[in-house]
Amino acid sequence: MRKVTTELSVGLFMIMGFLAFVYLSLQLGEFSVFALEKNYPINAEFDNVSGLKPGATVEIAGVTVGKVSAISLDEYDMAKVTMLISRDVSISDDAIASIRTQGLIGDKYIRIAQVGSGERLPDNGTILETESAVDLEALISKYIFGKI
């Protein structure tokens, strides 16, 4: 009888340890089962998204309000960026999305500027005004070869 309770205790301890490991893995990986309830998707189309990656932050006035969930090409060979924005934040339909760099050679992120008092952008809506990433290598090349 004592052997059965010891084995049962060890088994329960192992199961609890495994569940704790799974929970921590999901939390550290920023995986959320209810992510779609907390966020809504919006899109923006850019000429160039060089250096922007899924998972990059989306900011308004320096405050993180979402993240980039996907980057793909649309039918017009434009880069379509899908972002998940917190439901607490309202993006207007006349907002401007621009790709910026954190520091001189840091990671790329999307900055959204709320321009006016337009209507709220619906779920899966598209930001029409965008500014693509600045290609630093191309600028340096133009400067070196005197094409500026």
pLDDT of the residue at 5: 85
pLDDT tier, 25 (very low <50, low <70, confident <90, very high otherwise): confident
pTM for the full predicted model: 0.70
- Token pair in block for residue 88: 């607490």
Largest separation between any pair of C-alpha atoms in the chain: 88
Per-residue pLDDT of 88-138, as tens digits, reads: 888 988 899 999 988 777 789 999 998 877 788 888 889 988 888 777 777
User: Is there a contact between 133 and 51 (Cβ–Cβ < 8 Å)?
Assistant: yes
Give domain status of residue 145, yes or no: no
Residue 144 predicted with pLDDT over 80: yes
Q: Choose between 43 and 26: higher pLDDT.
A: 43
Q: Are residues 23 and 2 in the same domain?
A: yes
d(CA 89, CA 94): 15
How many alpha carbons fall within 13 Å on the CB side of residue 63?
9
pLDDT of the residue at 146: 74
Q: Dump strand ranges (E) for 1-122.
A: 39-46, 57-60, 63-73, 79-86, 96-101, 108-113
Q: Are residues 81 and 27 in the same domain?
A: no
pLDDT of the residue at 116: 75
Give domain status of residue 146, yes or no: no
pLDDT of the residue at 14: 93
pLDDT of the residue at 60: 92
User: 76: domain range?
Assistant: 35-140
Q: Are residues 44 and 74 in the same domain?
A: yes
For the chain, what is the mean pLDDT? 85
